[in-house]
Structure 1
Amino acid sequence: MSATARAKSLNPQSILARKGGVPIVCLTAYTTPIARIVDAHCDLVLVGDSVGMVLHGLPSTIGVTLEMMVLHGQAVRRGVENALLVVDMPFGSYEESPAQAFRNAARVMAETGCAAVKLEGGVSVAETIRFLVARGIPVVAHVGLTPQGVNAFGGYTVQGRGRDADRVFADARAVAAAGAFSVVLEKVPEALARAITADIAIPTIGIGASPACDGQILVVDDMLGLFTDFRPKFVRRYGELGQAAATAVAAYAEDVRQRRFPGPEHVFAEALPARPS
């Protein structure tokens, strides 16, 4: 699909229409340069609250603020021309009430120019999703492992095993019925993700889920291999940029210490004017 075709078609309704069709390609982005790269190839670009861990070194996404999401959303907006831009609502910005969610989501959309927001949760946020959609705010839902609930889950564990599958299934059905135009399924058993995808009428976007999902998403820094010590099972590394960067920095440091850099080609040669004696 060409960039021109995508530019004309990529909106929440066109993503919804991709249900059961060509898989939806999604990646995260947090900066303008990366946004420009992924925009050329992706259908949906997510400014994830994973920015807190990826770029700010936080131990989880809990500490991410609305201001951080707006700042990075604005940066990514400058680099996205074709893909659908979605921004995460951070922890504490929507759980209190639908009114709180609308106020904060409206701010995110107005200040970043994104086309939709993403909320974590299923049955518990269905009323909020319905409230937002009725007021013109498109929503991507997120069920299964919801990182903002990591403390309640007791860690980043697979969700929906055994009898817990009913809970995740109910969450997916609830957000679809509430009007979300797609839903992220994170870290759930493959068979469950496959069954949910077949059951609900909106596209599923998998991360640690199933190849049967209607689309896939990864954290861009993970799939590029920027973290040499982080290798979750569900990530395929399409590059090893972390090691490449370490090698490049080491070479630079050695050249500086040995006075090999800068060389004559990196400086501005000009004779000093004569000084009076």
Structure 2
Amino acid sequence: MSEPRRPGSNDPLTPFELALRNRVPSREALLAEGKAQTVRQRRRKQVLGASLSTVALASMLWGIDPAWRSEDVRTAYGQRHDLQLADGSRIALNSATHLRIEQRLRSRQFELLEGEATFTVAPGDKPFIVRSQGVAVRDISTVFNVRSDSRGVAVAVIEGAVDVSTASAGPQRLLGGQQLMPSRESLGAVAALDPASATAWQQGKLRFDGTPLREVLAEIRRYRQAPIRLADNRLGDLRLSGEFDSAAVESLIDLLPAVMPVMLIRGRDGSVLVSAR
């Protein structure tokens, strides 16, 4: 075996050996570079994971629409009230109405807990949605009326169109001059509507056209705090027609025995029992 060359010797290959050593890293240098590369890869994975987590969080937040503030508006018996919203929309509230206005990130939402309201919606980037008793009404640039009471929910479109849906059905498109009485279970059938009758309450009028007495009493209850009820449910099939002043429902009640085979029994607390004559 030949003896290794020593630097500085007169061997003509020595310069080439030194140049080769300068070009080829030592074992220690290779180990150090390997460790540094491992650290860089680990950091890249951490940054990539954080970026993916940020994207996933942003996607999740985009899919939710929390209410960051809400405001309740109520009207008393016999009181009506008009609201002008910041976006230019208008809401007319009928007597004995409870409306919750919700400030949300990506929509304009309202909950009609009780009563009746007409919504005149200004165009905007955020959807305009009214909810009540499990029913959702989504505006499509329109004027619509929503009533919510013991009878359920009634949606009437005065102008334009809305989409009505529930958790189990819909959406059902409603156009101007159409109405619907949906429930949590079903949307029901679309029916024709007289827009003037649907909004007569805004002029302080109650309009009935062959309306069953049970429906008449339901409307009267909106304007008086003391209860009024039927002694016999079969009396509810009697029908009433005419236009009456909503500020004078007591006069309307007094008129019932003159146009129907009924009699009134008044209680000391102001309650009224409508019974057969």
Normalised by the length of structure 2, the TM-score is: 0.24
- Which fold has the larger relative contact order, with Cα–Cα distance below 8 Å and residues 6 or more apart in sequence? 1
Q: Which protein has the bigger strand share?
A: 2
Q: Which protein has the bigger helix share?
A: 1
